[in-house]
Amino acid sequence: MFHHPQKKSKFTFRLIENFQDLRAENYHGDVLYAQCDFLKYSSLIHSQVKHVVVEASEGNEVLGNFYFQIMPFKGSELKSYIPQGENCLFNKTLEAIVDLALERVNWKLAVLGNVFVTGDNGQFWRNKNLVSEIKWEILEDVCTFLGKQTLADAFLISDLRAEDLTGHDYMIDRSFRFFEVEPDLIFDIDSSWKSFDDYLASVVSKYRVRTKKVLKKSQELVVRDLSIDDIENQEELIYSLYKNVMDSVAFKLAEVGPDYFKSFKQAFPNNFFVRGFYLEDKMVGMISFFEDDSFLLMNFIGLDYSLNREYCIYQRILYDSIAQGIQRRKKHIHFGRTATEIKTSVGAKPVKAFSLLKHNSKITNKAIQPLTTYLKPERFEVRKPFKDKVQVAS
């Protein structure tokens, strides 16, 4: 490990805290969550976290803009990531280290990206020709700048894909901890599918039988697209279903408020949807998702777990999402993270994702090293439900 003295940055930085000052031309990603209006609205609706943008320049040229969400973070949250059952003695030792080092930790954590949307890494590069070494140098300096503004004492650069990692050793040399996180789960929709039946025909017999069994067990569920009024009238129930799922998740950085679903439906009526799953006129499941030109982005799911086994609510939500993607002529469904095995069983593919973490305090940063060294997602088996496509000789 190399130790680099604090250097003066050759870049200049500007802190933007008032999101009404954001200029649309700097935020024009292909996806909704990378667009200016979405960032502005997120900063208003997610008031439980602080939202800032750091603009990086060299001379008169703006090189990039970086969207951070800053939130309190307790180190004990990371304990759920300790690998289980591989080496009991090692685990007990590691757990003792984690307890000692992290139990009383309360950081101000700056996350590069939107923690409420899977897949967003918060990076808006203006200059597309920058080599990776310069990009990493800018990212490191951006974190240093935020630290000097005393807005944060720890930094998480999240949602990095394999293709983003070129040159990332630069950050490891500067004491950032590198680790793998739960994969993103992407479902590709075959362009020839016109209906859910076409999807069914494309899976092997074993999975087709399972799917039909789920559809039969869940046949009493009635699915409805919810209007703004519907969402408002059932806000408490929707939120309680959402909380059921969030409370079962081992690791989460932040949660949305009760008015989240209504607010986003009002702000983005043509891009944000909430679907309710009803049993005898009572909602027992829900899903929210964003729609873009080429994909559906699953946002949050809610469930009544007491009825899930009997009526296969969760799996029905997944199949309904696939049917929605086909019906809306999308290319992909972004299923987010968690429940990897069950999502691969319906045809989603896991895409590896990585993060970089650093704390300003050298002592704390040293203390998290054993943890991040062994931090890894739970093991899972990738299911392959689709038939092998026949290769036609050319």
What are the tens digits of pLDDT across the range 295-346? 999 999 999 999 999 999 999 999 999 999 999 999 999 999 888 999 999 9
User: DSSP states of 301-332 as a string?
Assistant: EEE-HHHHHHHTHHHHHHHHHHHHHHHTT-SE
Whether the per-residue pLDDT at 390 is higher than 80: the answer is: no
Instruction: Retrieve residue 108's tokens.
Output: 């101000």
pLDDT of residue 369: 78
pLDDT of residue 349: 96
The residues, any chain, with a CB within 8 Å of residue 290's CB and separated by 6 or more, are: 32, 33, 117, 268, 271, 272, 273, 296, 297, 299
CB 211 within 8 A of CB 203: yes
pLDDT of residue 28: 73
With 0-12 CB in 10 A as exposed, 13-18 as middle and 19+ as buried, what is 61? exposed
The residues, any chain, with a CB within 8 Å of residue 61's CB and separated by 6 or more, are: 126, 127
pLDDT band per the 50, 70, 90 thresholds, residue 284: very high
Percent of the chain with pLDDT strictly greater than 90: 70
Task: Provide the 10 A C-beta neighbour count for residue 56.
Answer: 24
Query: What's the CA gap between 324 and 335, in Å, rounded?
Result: 13
Task: Provide the 10 A C-beta neighbour count for residue 241.
Answer: 25
pLDDT of residue 5: 46
The residue among 118, 120, 115 whose CA lies nearest residue 51 is: 115
Rounded to an integer, the average pLDDT of 274-299 is 96
Phi and psi based region of residue 325 (left: phi greater than 0; alpha: psi -120 to 50; beta: remaining): alpha
The most confident of 100-109, 127-136, 143-152, 311-320, by mean pLDDT? 311-320
Rounded to an integer, the average pLDDT of 249-262 is 88
Residue 248 vs residues 17, 80, 251, 354, 394: alpha-carbon distances, Å: 33, 12, 9, 23, 51
Domains detected in the chain = 12-181+353-374 (3.40.630), 190-330 (3.40.630.30)
What are the tens digits of pLDDT across the range 17-58? 999 989 888 887 778 888 999 999 999 999 999 999 999 999
The residue among 219, 247, 220, 224 whose CA lies nearest residue 234 is: 224
What are all long-range contacts of 246-249, with beta carbons under 8 Å and residues at least 24 apart?
248/305, 249/338
pLDDT band per the 50, 70, 90 thresholds, residue 66: very high
pLDDT of residue 389: 67
DSSP state of 244: H
Query: What's the CA gap between 5 and 139, in Å, rounded?
Result: 17
pLDDT of residue 103: 64
What are the tens digits of pLDDT across the range 341-367? 999 999 999 999 999 999 988 888 887
Largest CA distance in the chain: 66
pLDDT band per the 50, 70, 90 thresholds, residue 100: low
The most confident of 7-21, 75-89, 207-221, 356-370, by mean pLDDT? 207-221
The residue among 121, 142, 187 whose CA lies nearest residue 323 is: 187
Task: Calculate the average pLDDT of the chain.
Answer: 88
Check residues 65 and 73 and name the one with the higher pLDDT.
Answer: 65
pLDDT of residue 3: 42
